[in-house]
Amino acid sequence: MQSFLKRFLISNDSNEEPTPDQLKLEIDALYVVLSNLYGTDKLILKASKLEALDLMRSEDLGERVLGLQKLANDDPTLKNVPQIKEIPELLRGIEEHIAETVAKRSVEDRLNQAVAERMQEKHEEYIKEIKSQVLKELGGPENAQTLKKLALLEKMNAAKPLSSALKVLRPKAPEEIVGQSNAMQALLAKLATPFPQHILIYGPPGVGKTSAARVALETVKKLSDSPFNADAPFIEVDGTTLRWDPRDITNPLLGSVHDPIYQGARRDLADTGIPEPKLGLVNDAHKGVLFIDEIGEMDPILLNKLLKVLEDKRVFFESSYYDPHNTQIPLYIKKIFEEGVPADFVLIGATTRDPSDLNPALRSRCAEVYFVPLEPSHIAEIVKQASRKLDVQLEENIPNIISEYVIEGRKANSILLDAYGLAKFKNPDRKNIIITEEEVREVLRSARLTPYVHQKAKAGYDIGRILGLGVSGFLGSVLEIEAKVFPGPAGKGDIRFNETAGSMARDAVFNAAAVIRSLTGEDLKNYDIHVNVVGGGRIDGPSAGLATTMAIYSALKNHPLRKDVAVTGEISIQGKVKPVGGIYEKIFGAKQAGVKTVLIPEENKSEVPTGLKGIEVIAVSNIQDALKIAQAD
């Protein structure tokens, strides 16, 4: 193309002005070059789009040069027709532009040729790769790379496993579940029958719910008339990880169907359009126990589908790709779709939630077992038990120290393990490890732990102060309530109460005013009264009514109250002590704080646990009975 251009263009090296005829020849030559570059048809189409067609056919040299400018620059906006004297300079510019276009076209042609040659080479390589793959399939699935990975896997399996603290410290027998003897007995009783029940276990975290379920199954399997076989499975899963997939593509709990169009179906089945069922955990637990931790966190739809499985004892699968008349379907898949898969198991669900938060349909199908918070003595026993399993010695006071900082057995074991690691690090060559109090204190400081019970009851008496009881979840706590009474302007006294305590607690103060007026004849409107919950604790219910009334009465009459007494109960304006909730948890919280006597409403007397040690629980029906017990002799 470049040689063609050189042959037709007129040299402009001389200083002589070209004649019109010479300019016409040069312009014609440029149009010929463009025609050869684009092709005649494409050049005419291009000229039409750029409004240059009439200019190409014009007899006027200026107009023909303007047409060349539009075609060379792809610019339809050019309008100025050049003069004769301007044409030579414009033609040189057009020649350079056309030469550049020709050069680019030449490079593109070479590139296209190279690409075509490379594609041909890759095509041949692809054919070779397919042939090689066919040869591999005929020769077997293994190659040097897969054999190397197999050898690595065998080496990993042959290596000695690292000792797991969880495995070492895990309870193996019912008596190792510390502090839960009654709950453990109830759990075993519900499994060791010809008709074992589904069970819900309630309790705070770290008290042994999961371990108890596992130990209970292993214990019941050893009975001569056990409903469970020796190989009965214990399938454990966390309810927080289970989610409902509305597409039914993945469902590890109930199982799912991998349709041919989805990734995951077996290749031989996908190629023939056959859906493949994948069994779930409910099928793995057949004839055993399915344990779901944090069952209260499960997706409601998934939980309802699980309840259906509990009723049917079988899981059914569906797929729009299943054709019962397809003779290519394997028999096991046909049976799964037409008969379902057995899922006869005992469900044990554990939760830290309140029973009222759980699905009523689930609760109606399950027996319920309540695990209690661990007391300091239980934590100390867990620490001692763990030390025996770790084969380490403890300084005498260590179990009691750890029991002051935690209320969870799992956390107590964690602190002991940290102290064990610290002692081992400090004495790497010592075989008999002795954990010292200083090492435990160092672990507690590094973990930034503080004693769990900040408020400790003491012997003695105080005016205008009483211990109330609160509850949060499964844990009770002691609330220090104090009152101060000052003479005020007659009939214009003011009552102040913590804003953080809540509206129901403030209402209790007004009920107390009516009760105290009935007891003493004193109108609290004649006094300025300040009631305070130390620490700004929030009281969600009316259970601090009795404590508030006794604190105000003590401050008003200057009668001291015992420091080691804690009270709970709603106060009515008639002075009666009405029932409240969370009695067991409140007694536990009082015991943790060193309280010697707890006053509860008479109507809650049946909720007091049997076998209590170290604390006295007295039921009262009115304010007068409560004051007699709590006041100084």
Domain regions of the chain by residue span: 1-158, 171-370, 378-446, 461-630
- Range with the lowest mean pLDDT among 255-269, 473-487, 528-542? 255-269
The two tokens of residue 603 are 């109507």
Helices then strands, counting H and E runs in the chain, come out as 23, 22
Query: For residue range 376-394, what is the model confidence (pLDDT) as tens digits?
Result: 888 999 999 999 988 899 9
Active site (catalytic) residues: 543, 586
Q: Regarding beta strands 495-497 and 393-394, do their DSSP bridges make them parallel or antiparallel, or are they unpaired?
A: unpaired
Lowest mean pLDDT among 86-95, 193-202, 497-506: 497-506
Q: Which has the higher per-residue pLDDT, 220 or 31? A: 220
d(CA 523, CA 122): 102
CATH number of 378-446: 1.10.8.60
Q: Is the pLDDT of residue 141 over 70?
A: no
- What HEC string does 72-117 produce? HHCCCCCCCCCCHHHHHHHHHHHHHHHHHHHHHHHHHHHHHHHHHH
For 533, the 3-state DSSP assignment is strand
What is the structure's pLDDT at 26? 82
Among 350, 353, 382, which residue's Cα sits nearest to residue 369? Answer: 350
At the top level of CATH, the class of 171-370 is: alpha beta
Spatial separation of the C-alpha atoms in residues 421 and 433, rounded to whole Å: 10
Phi, psi of 431 (to 5 degrees): -85, -45
Q: How far apart are CA 491 and CA 483, in angstroms?
A: 20
Per-residue pLDDT of 407-422, as tens digits, reads 888 899 999 999 998 9
Strands 565-567, 314-315: pairing is unpaired
Q: What would be the CATH architecture of the domain defined by 461-630?
A: 2-Layer Sandwich (3.30)
Q: Which pLDDT tens digit goes with each residue over 255-288?
A: 888 776 665 555 556 556 778 888 999 999 999 9
> How much is the pLDDT for 330?
85
Burial 168-207 (b: 16+ CB within 10 A, else e): ebebeebebbbbbeebbebbbebbbeeebebbbbbbbbbb
Both tokens of 276, joined, read 């493949």
> Residue 582 pLDDT > 50, yes or no?
yes
**What is the model's pLDDT at position 142?**
61
- pTM > 0.75: no
The two tokens of residue 265 are 């179906």
Number of Cβ within a 10 Å radius of residue 547: 33
User: pLDDT tens-digit profile of 32-77?
Assistant: 888 887 788 878 887 888 888 888 788 888 888 888 887 888 788 8
CA gap 415, 405 in Å, rounded = 10
Place 159 in a pLDDT band, splitting at 50, 70 and 90.
Answer: low
| The pLDDT of residue 95 is above 70 | yes
Mean pLDDT of 315-320: 87
**Are the C-beta atoms of residues 563 and 459 closer than 8 Å to each other?**
yes
Checking if the pLDDT of 576 tops 70, the result is yes
342-351 pLDDT tens trace = 999 999 999 9
φ, ψ at 219 (rounded to 5°): -70, -45
What is the pLDDT at residue 454? Answer: 59
Percent of the chain whose pLDDT exceeds 70: 87
Structure token digits, residue 241: 């990880």
Q: Residue 281 has what pLDDT? A: 93
Position 264 scores a pLDDT of 54
Would you call 144 helix, strand, or coil by DSSP? helix
pLDDT of residue 5: 46
**pLDDT at 13 (0 to 100):** 47
Q: How far apart are CA 551 and CA 462, in angstroms?
A: 10
> pLDDT higher for 299 or 540?
299
Q: Among 220-224, 242-246, 280-284, where is mean pLDDT lowest?
A: 242-246
User: Which band of pLDDT confidence, cut at 50, 70 and 90, is reported for residue 191?
Assistant: very high
Q: Where are the alpha helices (DSSP H) in 292-434?
A: 300-312, 331-339, 360-365, 376-390, 398-405, 409-426
Closest to 291 (Cα-Cα) out of 385, 221, 220, 216: 216
